[in-house]
Structure 1
Amino acid sequence: MKRPDAWAGIALAVALVCWPQLASAAALDGAMLSAWWGVPFAGILLSIAVFPLIAPALWHHHYGKIAAAWGVAFLLPFALVYGAGPALGTLIHAMLEEYLPFIILLTALYTVAGGICVRGNLHGTPRVNTALLALGTVLASIMGTTGAAMLLIRPLLRANDNRKHVVHVVVFFIFLVANVGGSLSPIGDPPLFLGFLNGISFFWTTVHLALPMLFVSGVLLVLFYALDSYYFHRREEEGSRFLDPTPDTPALGIDGKINFVLLGAAIALVLMSGFWKPGVSFEVYGTSVALQNVVRDVGLIGVTLLSLVLTQRSAREGNAFTWGPIEEVAKLFAGIFITIAPVIMILRAGEAGAFALITRLVTDPSGNPSNPAYFWATGLLSSFLDNAPTYLVFFHLAGGNAQALMTTGASTLVAISAGAVFMGANTYIGNAPNFMVKAIAESRGIRMPSFFGYMAWSGAVLIPLFLATHWLFI
């Protein structure tokens, strides 16, 4: 990563404040926290939304420092009010339990998929584009939304590099490949992986989310084909269709095939951490780190390094591979995972917390779960809070008993799972691959919509579709 000084500053500042009380780190009861502790989290979200619009140059050069500043804006006051131990414990928990596994897995999938180069040049007709989106939707549940998105976004952009209207292609790619397609397995999307680690059977989502996923993805593919056909046949597109800056000189083929083996190894490591339970863990200032998770993360780092060593340079050059997209995700989501910590604590406090209204919204007058409310509450919060921790909050609000939720509470678990996975597509920050795809498209010269511009797309296309999903399945 370039210029790590901002994040080093966070570590130094917290260490200086917390040094006298390192051993006293402890988790706080979310019922003690005021809603005001959510201000730094709101601040980083607003920064992501507003700075690229009003000060794009400043944001491009200093987004890491801005994210770090919001992290400090939470941690230092928190240490002063509640003590250095709880502040350090909160930071360590956010990093070890949530952020590091998250970014290690994303980096491994990003690096491995970035080493697989599809040679040759497909031509971005509506049929070809729709076929690529459908393929990515299927692959997302097999190799994860990050893996599928990183594998196919570059060939898709290359196929359409002679077209004037490309933004809609990337937007629908985020909808389908980076989100909805990952709903059929725990490997597909981080929320479902967290459910798997908490006892949900591997194929439970395959069975119970199949119909909602097929409905949503089917409608999106039909809408995309109609929209892409409209743009493809517009007059300004006619000349550009025959002026391809990357003509199809080499035959279609794949470079970097060794990465398919490494991708299999990454998937095996993720599965291992769910099935292998040796019962060994390490305590780090109140955070329990399980042995299987350490083995998984070390193995994924090894997979990343092997991909860098074993992949021929031509494969990454063919993909125009850079570290920029994963660097942006790493820095921004570090700030998000730190500042989201008090928000998650308050939500976990349920009726006793400052966000008790949310708890009341997901319970009907008789005290039973309201499945539509779970669907929309999980989904809308997943749009802004990152869908993985949001899924866990509502999983526990619904009882947290995997066996009960898979049987008598199956409809509630469907609502939570569908809301988290599907509505991660509502904003750029709902799911990490969204940001990566946006960054890669922009590195290819595509002017992607702003934060609010993208929400206009998702509001117009996805919200009516989710209303239909609510009526049909929830």
Structure 2
Amino acid sequence: MARSKQRKISLAADSSFARCGSALAVVCLTLLPQNAFAAAGLDGAAMRWPYALPFAGLLLSIALGPLLLPKIWHHHYGKITAGWSLLALAALVAFAGSAATLAALVHAMLAEYLGFIVLLFALYVVAGGILITGDIKATPATNVGILALGTVGASIVGTTGAAMILIRPLIRANRPRRHNAHVVIFFIILVANVGGALSPLGDPPLFVGFLHGVDFFWTTRTIWLQTAIVAGLLLAIFAVIDVWRFRSEPPPADTGRGEPLRIRGLVNLVLIAAIVASLLASAMWKPGIAFDIFGTKLELEDVARNLALLAIAALSVWLTPDEHRQANGFTWEPIREVAKLFAGIFVAIIPVIAMLNAGHHGAFAWLLSAVTAPDGAPREVVYFWFTGLMSAFLDNAPTYLLFFELAGGNPQVLMHQLSGTLASISMGAVYMGALTYIGNAPNFMVSSIARENGIEMPSFFGYFLRAGAVLIPLFLLLTLLPIAPILHWH
């Protein structure tokens, strides 16, 4: 009965969110002047900081809602998110008119959000069909091994793919332990973020760079040492903490010879390979055909990629026995939560990105001026920290692209003469996505899955403080280490 009631509440929330979205579309279309579909872009230079308040309000809601009003938040987060989005759009309509607002909304949803959420959805569905069974004893050595495996695999199957494959076996193994939240926190840091730094398949910002001309193996060749240093130190820190926690707990009961380790749903490994192939194909196939929707050009290869990803997800549902997903504890709530929250983030961030794109003429000129020395040379360390800290609270893919363009936007120059600048942008966007739950989409999904399985995850600020206490000293060390001379003060 409780499960049925909860399902009804969830469906009602989904319906309310859909009605808000429909109302939003109707309002924009009603206000849109005839024949004004080709609206000019937003003038970020004319905006002032109050236009960023809806985005700040949304971030505060995500941070404080589960902490202060958990019941209200979990039942109505979709409507709260939609409310902040509507406020941001209303401010834009008053500032630039309905035509420019609709054009900006369409661009954010179709050119940025759609590909982002479709890829996450496909990886979530396919990875959820891989069932790892058998008795895994949650010793420190086992936990370190799983985290190391996920860190390496993240650059091959993506941070979302690696996280979704390994998080449930890790949770099942550690559920009997009294102290287990730290295991998931380090899993988010390593598998959902740092591990994706070595290929465009690993993390969305690097895929954006690949689409803009950065060689596929450039990050592998350039920042493998820095990634190895950060990942190695993180694994060592985790091992110390896990050993300490493990020794403070009563010894586990001896259950005798356990069930051998088995991997089921192997067809989904083939489907993950198909996802990777579809991403590579969309980057290499350039038919030169595009569809113009309110000023946003949708390239044919992007449309084909999204359709292929949805087809792969459907194949996974069809080919995977239901009992595999049931044994995994698979539900749609984590991806639904990510889809709603990030839809709101992509909408509310529109004026923020416009002001940042205005460069030295915008409200955030003071921020962008800091990345360039008086002699015109880029400050790699500042690029690293600014890209990273903004990626922790904004979406890391557009943040990467913003600083990529700020540094000149020429991939050949950035890969050679300014390789330190591009490395700084790449490392900042990927590594510091681990600082908050919203820094990278898998963070939210992993946290949501852990909570569903009874692990008491810290609040938004609680996670930020824990992750920051571990990561900030490492990033300072990375900045200053002679062994990693990719970053220089200017």
Give the TM-score of the pair, scaled to structure 2.
Answer: 0.94
Q: Indicate if the aligned counterparts of 2:285 and 2:301 stay in contact, CA closer than 8 A.
A: yes
2:7 — aligned with what?
A: none
The CA deviation string for residues 372-404 of structure 1, in whole angstroms up to 9 with x for no partner, is: 000000000001002111101100100111111
For residues 135-154 of structure 1, the aligned pairs below 5 Å read 135-154=149-168
The aligned amino acid for 1:397 is L
The CA deviation string for residues 439-472 of structure 1, in whole angstroms up to 9 with x for no partner, is: 0000011110000100111121000000011112
Question: Deviation of residue 249 (structure 1)?
Answer: 5.0
For residues 60-459 of structure 1, the aligned pairs below 5 Å read 60-234=74-248, 237-239=249-251, 241-242=252-253, 249-459=258-468
Unaligned runs of 5+ in 2: 1-9
1:49 — aligned with what?
A: 63
Cα separation, partners in 2 of 1:295 and 1:248, compared to 1, 3 Å: farther
Cα distance in 2 between the residues matched to 1:374 and 1:210: 19
1:39 — aligned with what?
A: 53
Cα distance in 2 between the residues matched to 1:34 and 1:204: 38
Question: Deviation of residue 5 (structure 1)?
Answer: 2.5
Cα distance in 1 between the residues matched to 2:235 and 2:399: 27
Question: Deviation of residue 260 (structure 1)?
Answer: 0.7
Percent same amino acid at aligned positions?
53
Which piece of structure 1 moves more, 106-115 or 20-29?
20-29
Q: Indicate if the aligned counterparts of 2:20 and 2:79 stay in contact, CA closer than 8 A.
A: no
The CA deviation string for residues 142-169 of structure 1, in whole angstroms up to 9 with x for no partner, is: 0000000000000001111111010110
1:11 — aligned with what?
A: 22
Cα distance in 2 between the residues matched to 1:14 and 1:303: 29
Cα distance in 2 between the residues matched to 1:131 and 1:341: 41
Cα distance in 2 between the residues matched to 1:289 and 1:464: 42
Please give the root-mean-square deviation of Cα atoms over the aligned residues, in Å. 1.4
The CA deviation string for residues 319-378 of structure 1, in whole angstroms up to 9 with x for no partner, is: 010011101100000000001111111111110111001111101111211100000000
Cα distance in 1 between the residues matched to 2:445 and 2:20: 25
Question: Deviation of residue 22 (structure 1)?
Answer: 6.0
Cα distance in 2 between the residues matched to 1:238 and 1:281: 62
The aligned amino acid for 2:127 is A
Q: Indicate if the aligned counterparts of 1:121 and 1:155 stay in contact, CA closer than 8 A.
A: no
The CA deviation string for residues 399-455 of structure 1, in whole angstroms up to 9 with x for no partner, is: 111111011010000000000000000000000000000000000111100001001
Q: Indicate if the aligned counterparts of 2:136 and 2:173 stay in contact, CA closer than 8 A.
A: yes
The CA deviation string for residues 261-285 of structure 1, in whole angstroms up to 9 with x for no partner, is: 1111111011111111111111111
Cα distance in 1 between the residues matched to 2:83 and 2:335: 20
Cα distance in 2 between the residues matched to 1:243 and 1:317: 27
1:21 — aligned with what?
A: 33
Cα distance in 2 between the residues matched to 1:309 and 1:140: 26
Q: Indicate if the aligned counterparts of 1:7 and 1:65 stay in contact, CA closer than 8 A.
A: no
Unaligned runs of 5+ in 1: none
Q: Indicate if the aligned counterparts of 1:144 and 1:188 stay in contact, CA closer than 8 A.
A: yes
Q: Indicate if the aligned counterparts of 2:125 and 2:316 stay in contact, CA closer than 8 A.
A: yes
Cα distance in 2 between the residues matched to 1:367 and 1:130: 44
The DSSP-based 3-state class of the residue aligned with 2:250 is helix
Cα separation, partners in 2 of 1:23 and 1:310, compared to 1, 3 Å: farther
Question: Deviation of residue 248 (structure 1)?
Answer: 7.1
Cα distance in 1 between the residues matched to 2:321 and 2:28: 47
Q: Indicate if the aligned counterparts of 2:28 and 2:102 stay in contact, CA closer than 8 A.
A: no
The CA deviation string for residues 267-304 of structure 1, in whole angstroms up to 9 with x for no partner, is: 10111111111111111111111111001000000001
Q: Indicate if the aligned counterparts of 1:26 and 1:86 stay in contact, CA closer than 8 A.
A: yes
The DSSP-based 3-state class of the residue aligned with 1:282 is strand
The aligned amino acid for 2:16 is D
The CA deviation string for residues 107-133 of structure 1, in whole angstroms up to 9 with x for no partner, is: 000000000000112100000000000
Which piece of structure 1 moves more, 51-60 or 31-40?
31-40
Cα distance in 1 between the residues matched to 2:344 and 2:15: 13
Cα distance in 2 between the residues matched to 1:243 and 1:287: 61
